[in-house]
Amino acid sequence: MFSIGALSKATGVKVPTIRYYEEIGLIDPATRNAGNQRRYDQAGLERLGFIKHARDLGFGLEEIKELMGLNGELGQDCHAADQIAKAQLEKVRSRILRLRQLETELERITHLCEGGTGGTCQVLTALGDHSQCLGEHG
């Protein structure tokens, strides 16, 4: 059995987050010892590890709930899990594309004056006037 602190240390999930996951039903409510302290079993540790890994990969709580509702059998469950993972991959690719656009524009803006002195700061001018941007990034 694990205390909430030990569970936090083992998984890297903060104590308030563990309580929140319990509150919203992502993890089963902990049993309580005689001192009314939460106690989690190995299954709770593994479930929290699953959630942490999924969160690290960018899955939202709703997708995680859906994934956890699957029993891991090949066939329908595997297809559903695959679809959820593919949707997440597409979201990540979209974010990467947006970040590359931001990188390009920020690189262009930072080269406008290269930290020069005198006159008007071109970085501030560019930030204040979206029409000076080369592409869409908003």
> Where do the structural domains in the chain lie, given as residue ranges?
1-57, 70-138
**Which DSSP letter does residue 70 get?**
S
Checking 125-130 for CB contacts under 8 A at 24+ apart, the result is none
Average confidence (pLDDT) over 28-48: 88
Residue 80, both tokens: 């559903």
Question: Is the per-residue pLDDT at 131 higher than 80?
Answer: no
pLDDT of residue 25: 92
CA distance 97 to 91: 10
pLDDT of residue 117: 66
Q: Where are the alpha helices (DSSP H) in 1-133?
A: 4-11, 15-23, 42-56, 61-68, 76-110, 122-128
pLDDT of residue 23: 93
pLDDT of residue 116: 66
Residue 119, both tokens: 């006159």
* CATH no. for 1-57: 1.10.1660.10
Average confidence (pLDDT) over 46-65: 95
